[in-house]
Structure 1
Amino acid sequence: HGQTGTVKGIRGRCYEVEVKIGNSKKLLIIGKEHLRTNKGSAK
C-alpha cells in the first residue's frame, strides 16, 4: 500500500525493487503494471 522504493534491476519482465519495511530492506520482484514513477523523481 503506497510503498516507495528503488529499482535495482530487471528480472525477466519484472523489476527488482528495494523497499524499506520497518528497520530492514527487502528486495521485491514486481511487475511493471504495479509500478509508477514518483512525481518527485528527476530521472
Structure 2
Amino acid sequence: MTNKIAIGIALVVLGLLAIDVFLFDWSNTLFLLKKTADMIEWMAFWR
C-alpha cells in the first residue's frame, strides 16, 4: 500500500466519522462498536 492510498483511505474514514457526528450524533458508530464487541465476545466463547 502506498502512502497516497493510505492517506486516501484515512480521509474517507475520517469523512464518514464526521458525517456520523454531525448528522447522526454518533449513533451509527456506537452501533458498530457494540456489535463488534459482541462479535469479539462470541468468538472468544468458541475459542
- TM class by shorter chain equals under 0.3
Larger Rg: 2
* Structure with a larger share of its residues in strand: 1
With normalisation by structure 1, the TM-score equals 0.17
